[in-house]
Structure 1
Amino acid sequence: MYESENNREDSERTAFRRTEKKYKLYFDNNASSKNKKNKQPKPVDLTEDKFSSPVFSLQNHPGFYFIPGALSLEKQCDLIRESLTEFPQPPNRTNHNAIYGPIHNLFVAAKEGKVLVEEKSAITSHECSSDLNCRGGEEWKFFTEKEASLRKCRSVSGSSLLRKLRWSTLGLQFDWSNRNYNVSLQHNKIPEALCELAKQLAKPALPAGVEFQPEAAIVNYFASGDTLGGHLDDMEADWSKPIVSLSLGCKAIFLLGGKSREDAPLAMFLRSGDVVLMAGEARECFHGVPRIFTDKENAEIGHLETHLRQEDDLCFLKYIQTSRININIRQVF
C-alpha cells in the first residue's frame, strides 16, 4: 500500500510507526558493495524488549486464561531442576512424609544409587523433630547398596522413591488429610524467583493495579499412567485471585469442565512451557488431567532434549523424558 508524503510524515509521529522503524530491516549504507545481497544488515537492539506470548480466554469460561509457550526454554529447564532438587527438600512436605518422614536430598540419592533404610532408634515419637526421618522409634537413612545389604531392615531404593514422588508443597503447607492450609507447620517462603514469575504471569487475570501475592504452591509429579481426577481448588480465601499453573515436561490432556460434574468438559493440550490461569468463575469449574504422553512421538519435548545435553543435566533429562511436572501457585488469604 502506498501513502502520500504528508501521510508518511504524519505516520512517523505515531507510536506504531516508530516501533515499526525500530525493528525494520535496514542495511549498512557504509558498505562498499552496492549489491543489497552483499550488504550487512544493521543490528537491532532487543535488550530492553520482552516479547510476551499471546493470552487466550474462553467465552464460556470467564476467568480462565491460556498462555501457550509462556516460559522460555531456559526457564523451563531451571524449573525442572528445582522441582527435582530444591522443591521436595524439607521443611517442604511430600507424599513420602507420611511413611518415611522428611527425606533430604532425594534426587541426589537416586542419582547415586543409594537406598533408604529403616533403622530402629531410641528416639520416641514426641522427641522427633522436623529434620529427622523418623516415625515413633524408627528412623530412615540413606546408605549405599552395599551398606544397605548388611542391614537386615526394611529398605527402598532412592530411584524408586523418586519415581513415586507425586507432590511437594511450597510456602504455606497444605494439609491433605484435613484439606486446609496448616499455618502452624514449619515452612519456608516460596522462592523469590518463582514468586516474581507468578506475579508477572498472573497479571492478565487481575484488574489493573491489583497484585498477586504467592503464598503457597503445590508441585505435582506425573509418571506414565498417572492422572489427576476432576476436582476444584477451593481452599483459598479469595477466588478472584488466580491459580497460576505451569506445565513442564511431557504433553498432557487438560480437561476444563463446568460447575457440575455433569457438564461435559473441554479437552485441550498442555505442553511444556504453557501456563494456565484460573480465577473468579473459573475457580468453580471442575478440571483434571486424564493422561500424559510419555512416548517419544507425542511427548513433544524435543526442545528440552536438545537443551539438557550437558553431563550434569542427563539425569534431569532421563526423568523428564517420561514425566510431567505441574507447579501451581496460589494466594491463600
Structure 2
Amino acid sequence: MVSTFKASEKRWKRATSADLLSDPALVDPRNLSDEQKAKVQCIGSWTWKDEDEERPVLAFDNFGASHCGFCVIPNALNAKTQLKMARSCLTEFAEEPHVTNMHLLHQNGPDIWHKARVSHPQDPAQSLLLSKLCWAALGYHYDWTARKYDKNSFSLVPEVLQELGRKCAAVCDMTLTAEAVIVNFYKMKSSMGGHLDDVEYTMDHPVVSVSLGSQCVFLMGGQGKDEPPLPVLLRSGDIAIMGGVSRTCYHGVARVLPTPFTIAIEDLDKLCRDEKDRAEHEAIRTYLSTQRININVRQVYPTDRVTD
C-alpha cells in the first residue's frame, strides 16, 4: 500500500510546472495566501550581514503538531552571497579533504568543477563527470556502510557555515554547533524520497538547510509516513530550519523546477575581479539555472559530551 507521503511525492512529480505553481495547497513563503498568512507566525527578523535587508523568520507550528519547530527565512541570502556559496560548494566543498559520493565510486579526481567547465564551457551541468556528483560531506563524515558517523574521518567545517548555523538557530531560539555538513547536488530531474535525519547522537539541535539555484517542492512530513506532508516551495536564497518536533519528522524533495538565476549587473560586477572571474561566476549562474544545491548543517554530538 502506498503511504500518504509517497502519494504526495507522486502528485507533485506528475503535475505540470504551471499547475504546480498555481496549486493553492503549495506554501510559498514569499507569496503566502490569506489563509496561509493566518497560520504562519513571524517570530523575528534575520540578516546575514549588517548591510543586508532584514528578512522575516516564519514559523509553521500552526500547520500541525509535527511542524512545531519548522521555520523558513525567505530570501535570507542575497544573490551575491548565493553565488559565492555556490562557488564554494563546487570548487572547495566538493574537493579533498572533504569527501563526496565520487570517493565511494573511486572516481574522486580533483577539480571536478573546472574539468566540467573545460569539457562543457557553455553549460558545465552537461558534463558527465559533474552529473555523477551527488553529495559532499564536511565535518564528521558519515560512513554509509556502517550507518554511523566516523570519528576518525573528519574535515574542518568552514567558518562561514559555522556562523550560518549558529545565527539561524539563534533566531529560532535554538542552539547549533556545526559538526557535520552535507551538500546535496540536485539535477534537473532529481528528487529525494521521504526520510528521517536520525543518525546523529543528539536530536536536540536543528538542521539548517540552505537552498541555492533552482526552486523545489520540499515536503515537511510527520513522524510517520501516513501523515500528509506540508508542501513548501523553497527558492534560491531561502533557509529552512528543522528543530523541535520537526527535527524528528520525515521530509524530502519531491521536485526540482529549473529556475533562471538572476543577479543585478552591478552586484555581479562587485563579485568579479577580472574577466576570468566573471566567466567563472557566469558559468555558476548558468549551472544554478537548471540545478539545485542544498547545504544542510547539523550537530552530531550532545553539547555536553565528554571527549577523549
Q: After TM superposition, is the score higher than 0.5?
A: yes
CA–CA distance in structure 1, aligned partners of residues 264 and 130 of structure 2: 20
Cα 1:167/1:266, change in 2 over 3 Å: same
Shift of 1:282: 0.5
CA–CA distance in structure 1, aligned partners of residues 110 and 261 of structure 2: 29
- Counterparts of 1:174-193 in structure 2, within 5 Å, are 174-185=142-153, 187-193=154-160
Give SS of 1:109's match: helix
Which 5+ residue runs of structure 2 have no aligned equivalent?
A: 1-48, 121-125, 270-277, 302-308
TM-score, with structure 2 as normaliser? 0.72
- 1:31 aligns with none
- 1:267 aligns with 231
Within the alignment, does 1:98 sit opposite 2:104 as a pair? yes
CA–CA distance in structure 1, aligned partners of residues 127 and 266 of structure 2: 24
Within the alignment, does 1:55 sit opposite 2:61 as a pair? no
Shift of 1:62: 0.9
Cα 1:282/1:327, change in 2 over 3 Å: same
Cα 1:249/1:100, change in 2 over 3 Å: same
CA–CA distance in structure 2, aligned partners of residues 198 and 304 of structure 1: 27
- 1:6 aligns with none
The answer (yes or no) to whether the contact 2:260–2:290 under 8 Å persists in 1 is no
CA–CA distance in structure 2, aligned partners of residues 168 and 48 of structure 1: 30
Shift of 1:306: 8.7
- 1:220 aligns with 184
CA–CA distance in structure 2, aligned partners of residues 106 and 311 of structure 1: 17
Shift of 1:192: 0.9
Cα 1:96/1:50, change in 2 over 3 Å: closer
Within the alignment, does 1:301 sit opposite 2:257 as a pair? no
The one-character-per-residue Cα deviations of 1:275-303 (angstroms, maximum 9, x if unpaired) are 00011211121111010111xxxx25333
1:97 maps to a residue whose letter is H
CA–CA distance in structure 1, aligned partners of residues 177 and 209 of structure 2: 14
Shift of 1:64: 0.7
The one-character-per-residue Cα deviations of 1:158-211 (angstroms, maximum 9, x if unpaired) are 9211122110001110112222111112x321111221122111113335xxx4
CA–CA distance in structure 1, aligned partners of residues 266 and 293 of structure 2: 18
1:223 maps to a residue whose letter is K
CA–CA distance in structure 1, aligned partners of residues 214 and 68 of structure 2: 27
CA–CA distance in structure 2, aligned partners of residues 48 and 285 of structure 1: 34
Cα 1:304/1:96, change in 2 over 3 Å: farther
The answer (yes or no) to whether the contact 2:218–2:251 under 8 Å persists in 1 is yes
- 2:198 aligns with 234
The answer (yes or no) to whether the contact 1:80–1:325 under 8 Å persists in 2 is yes
- 1:173 aligns with 141
Give SS of 2:162's match: helix
CA–CA distance in structure 2, aligned partners of residues 94 and 49 of structure 1: 34
Q: Which one has a bigger Cα radius of gyration?
A: 1
The answer (yes or no) to whether the contact 2:192–2:254 under 8 Å persists in 1 is yes
| Identity among equivalent pairs (%) | 36
- 1:141 aligns with none
- Counterparts of 1:242-253 in structure 2, within 5 Å, are 242-253=206-217
Give SS of 2:240's match: strand
Cα 1:166/1:308, change in 2 over 3 Å: farther
1:179 maps to a residue whose letter is R
- Between 1 and 2, higher relative CO (CA 8 Å, sep ≥ 6) is seen in 2
Give SS of 1:322's match: coil
- Counterparts of 1:152-163 in structure 2, within 5 Å, are 159-163=127-131
Shift of 1:49: 6.2
Q: 1:321 aligns with which of 285, 289, 299?
A: 289
The answer (yes or no) to whether the contact 2:180–2:298 under 8 Å persists in 1 is yes
The answer (yes or no) to whether the contact 2:214–2:261 under 8 Å persists in 1 is yes
Give SS of 2:297's match: strand
Cα 1:53/1:280, change in 2 over 3 Å: same
Which 5+ residue runs of structure 1 have no aligned equivalent?
A: 1-46, 115-157
- Counterparts of 1:272-283 in structure 2, within 5 Å, are 272-283=236-247
TM-score, with structure 1 as normaliser? 0.66
2:58 maps to a residue whose letter is F
The answer (yes or no) to whether the contact 1:271–1:300 under 8 Å persists in 2 is no
The answer (yes or no) to whether the contact 2:260–2:288 under 8 Å persists in 1 is no
Shift of 1:307: 5.5
Q: 1:107 aligns with which of 110, 113, 133?
A: 113
